Amino acid sequence: MSDMPRRRFLAGAGAALAGLGINFAHAGVARADQHWDETFDVIIVGAGLAGLTAACAALDEGAKTVLLEKMSVSGGTGNYSNGTFSVVGSPQQAAAGIKDDWKILMEDNMREGGGWCRPELARHVAEQSHASYEFAIAHGATFEDYLIPFPGHSVKRLLQPTKNCEVGFLQPFRRYVKEHGGEIRTRVRVDEILFNDAGEVVGVKARTNYRFDPSLESDDLENKTGTVKYYRALRGIVCATGGWAHDKVFLEQECPQFAQTFSTQHIGSTASGYRLLANAGARMIQTAFYRAAFPEANNMGKGVIVDVTTGKRYISETKDRRTQFEAANIQMLKTGRIPVSILDKEAYEHVVNMPHFQVNRAAGWVTEHPSIEDVAKHYEIPLEPLKETIARYNADVEKGVDTEFGSDLEKKFKNPIDHAPYYVCWVRPDLNANTGGALITPKAEVVGLNTNKPIPGLYAAGKATGGVHGYSRLLGAAIADCVVFGMTAGREVARRKPAA
């Protein structure tokens, strides 16, 4: 192609892309004579739970499918997640005689989202809840035979994958992908989504042999490793790039109050997926929303929560998770130390999800002690103020009235902290996830910024999206989101007619 025709082509393509709401300054334009290193029906960017689910669904439709993962291993945060799965109508519910339906689940999710959920997205997750469970089982996922109770859910519906997300979900899904002709390619960083002159997604520009470098201030912007490749996608692309809660630079820009907050998201949870979608013209929403968590969010309210520098309570244990998160974050900023919750033997006997509790013990986030004196010594807490705090707390529990904070102790697990051994949980704020990202339709189509219409051939699922959860999300909702919208995206993209 000569320079003049090429310039005319690019100008025409740019006009078409601009009309579709695509940022031409950053979106890639495939040349009329574009050389493609390889061609697939479906390209999935990101090989975590949402991406693997999408791949399983696309392969079921007969699509030639590849997953491109920038890290050296697939799985994303799922490799470290407990994997709790919110499901309506499971055999475990049936065995327990629990009545549940998708409308109740939707109400629970909408309430937790503070009214910020997109109703059509929350409805899709709820309506497809049982279907997503059946999909997971059909693709090899396995679950324990018990249900996990958790505040915010009107009934018991949370399933525990066998051991954890890695064993119960990821291993069987990886196996299914490989056995059915799909590919999982690691250390492949996707830099641009490419469009034709009609504004349809036709492929990606990527780098193979990419080496993620956590020592860089911003791996996304500074890392130039890898060999450039161009991959064609005949039917479309699914962005399942996960969240960005581990991206300190991006986090400081969005949520400066949490710039130093710990995150259990995997180290590769940076804003590369956010940038990829934003540069492709996606409407990005609710990016400052987050999900607050703690190592033992299920159980820390069963004890007395104290500031380790003073031995005194700083908040009522009955407060909701987000309020606890923000208060603990302020304590850490003030003192430089992590608050703790002290449970006794009786509270320990009522721990929710004991396998997870034991994992946290192995990690050192829960410790066991023979006496309050040993607790004080281990955590360098002033002993006498701590004893006074526990004595006052125990007296309040007996009366059922919190004389320090005025809270209703009837709302919490009521027991005095007076039976050894004692178990101490870190009350360490964990920025567990961001709940914002690209706006999608119930078909998992990415909506364009300037058109309010789907960008042809571009889909997204999981933490790369926004609007599903709103202000916050319930335990188990993230896994449900990944499976439901991964399943939806994989099917929709595989059934799409090839781009012109």
Question: Which ranges of 400-476 would DSSP assign to H, the alpha helix?
Answer: none
The CA angle 207-20-486, to the nearest 5 degrees, is 55
The domains found in the chain, sorted by start residue, are 3-78+169-291+434-495 (3.50.50.60), 295-428 (3.90.700.10)
Alpha-carbon span 279 to 205, nearest angstrom: 13
Give percent above pLDDT 90 in the chain. Answer: 73
Residues 100/92, Cβ–Cβ less than 8 Å: no
Q: Residue 318: CB partners within 8 Å, gap ≥ 6?
A: 301, 402, 407, 408, 409, 411, 412
Residue 45 has pLDDT above 50, yes or no: yes
Question: Minimum mean pLDDT among 24-28, 213-217, 368-372, 408-412: which range?
Answer: 24-28
Residue-wise burial string across 75-96, b where 16 or more C-beta atoms lie within 10 A, e elsewhere = bbbbbebbbbbbbbbbebbeee
Alpha-carbon span 366 to 107, nearest angstrom: 34
213-222 LR contacts (CB < 8 Å, sep 24+)? 214/267, 217/248, 217/249, 218/247, 218/249, 218/250, 218/270, 219/270, 219/272, 220/247, 220/270, 220/271, 220/272, 220/275
Q: What is the pLDDT of residue 246?
A: 84
Tens digits of per-residue pLDDT, 414-465?
A: 789 999 999 999 999 888 778 899 999 999 999 999 999 999 999 999 999 9
Question: Minimum mean pLDDT among 9-18, 237-246, 483-492: which range?
Answer: 9-18
Q: What is the pLDDT of residue 82?
A: 86
Residue 191 has pLDDT above 60, yes or no: yes
Query: pLDDT tier at 258 (50, 70, 90 boundaries)?
Result: confident
Does this model's pTM top 0.75? My answer is: yes
Q: Residue 401: CB partners within 8 Å, gap ≥ 6?
A: 409
Task: Give phi and psi for 437, each to the nearest 5.
Answer: 165, -145
Q: What is the pLDDT of residue 2?
A: 37
Q: What is the mean pLDDT of residues 368-397?
A: 97
Map tokens 């505040």 to a residue.
151
Token reading at 477: 């909702």
